[in-house]
Amino acid sequence: MARNLLGIRHLTQDDIQELLSLSADFKLRILEKREVPNMSDQVVGMLFFENSTRTRVSFEQAAHYLKMKSANFSSGGSSMAKGETFSDTITTLRYERLNGLVIRHRASGSAALAARYFGGPVLNAGDGQHEHPTQALGDALTIIERKGELKGLQVSIVGDVEHSRVARSNAWLLSKMGAEVRFVGPRTLMPAHMQMLPGEVHYDLRSGIDGADVIICLRLQKERMADGMLSSITEYASMYQVNRESLRWANRDCIVMHPGPINRGVEVDDVAADGERSVINSQIENGIFVRMASLYWVFTSKAKSPDSPPPKLRVAKTVPAQPKTVARTAAKAKKAVAGSKKK
């Protein structure tokens, strides 16, 4: 069987640590212009049935760095627009001799369904309101670069939790790695069964981010909302916007994150989005390296599909999957970035 990356919930701590270790190592290799694995004999299909900029481009960049070939698809340009079923489309791509798939879809569970029909490695690039595993991994790497580790941190996830796959993947990853998670937002934007997610619920912004080390702001996903979930955008912003004033309740060295795209003046103000506490641009950049790690991780599994032989890698040795190693490698990468900026 192929190894897939469908969500964070069912990964072990060791899996998460290995992926973060690989991500930090890949980042350092790219910044120092050192060799990375050559996976030129692999072809990955990029199936984006929902609009995307950050995730799609970063997966394409990741494949480029690994010298993988990629084939791009969208629902509007595929036979699905003519009535073909999702399962038939995935089966067709399997026999088009693709070695793996990256898939984003509006339906929760679509990535798991694709894995069932495809047979080779499948990476979930966001499925409905379910999970977005590579976003959570990129967020975790960014936090480690700034905080050194995840264990013991208080992380507040603020906003539209109900519709957010990012919130779910982050909550599972952070809690598995020893962080304290808080969900903050109005009752109407919290899932009906919050007890199924690891974290405390706060309906008041001040108590929710009090003493926070990390604040992850979520986009209001108006395209997925039913009428009546919000009385008004203005009222939401007045009660839950992370801004210059509300940041005083968090720790002084608290960092601000956002998966994007940002609704400025709603979830965050310019100070939170662009100020010294913001690590949003680092999140975007780190998305490339975690997706390199994710592609490498699924394609080099020992449990391979007969249709997808393991690639011949020029670089076999990677950084051991230890928390301190990830932090050290991330710190080196951060210094490399600072040095390149001075030049």
- What fold, for 13-132+285-310? Rossmann fold (3.40.50)
pLDDT single digits (tens) 195-222? 889 999 999 999 999 999 999 999 987 7
pLDDT at site 51: 86
Please report which confidence band the pLDDT of residue 338 belongs to, taking 50, 70 and 90 as the band edges: low
What pLDDT, on the 0 to 100 scale, is given for residue 232? 82
State the average pLDDT over residues 325-340. Answer: 63
Name the more confident of 324 and 253.
Answer: 253
d(CA 54, CA 266): 20
- Write the pLDDT tens digit of every residue in 97-135: 999 999 999 999 999 999 999 989 999 999 999 999 999
Higher pLDDT, residue 147 or 317: 147
**Mean pLDDT for all residues in the chain:** 87
Q: Please determine, for residue 269, whether its predicted confidence score (pLDDT) is greater than 80.
A: yes
Q: Is the pLDDT of residue 83 over 90?
A: no
193 band by pLDDT with thresholds 50, 70 and 90: confident
Q: What is the pLDDT of residue 271?
A: 95
Q: Residue 319: is its pLDDT beyond 50?
A: no
* pLDDT score of 339: 58
Mean pLDDT within 67-83: 73
Give percent of the chain above pLDDT 70. Answer: 83
Q: Give ranges for CATH 3.40.50.1370 in the chain.
A: 13-132+285-310, 134-282
Is the model's pLDDT at 267 over the cut of 70?
Answer: yes
Supply the CATH classification number for the domain 134-282: 3.40.50.1370
- Residues 38-48: tens digit of each pLDDT: 999 999 999 99
- Residue 37 has phi, psi (to 5 degrees) of -55, 140
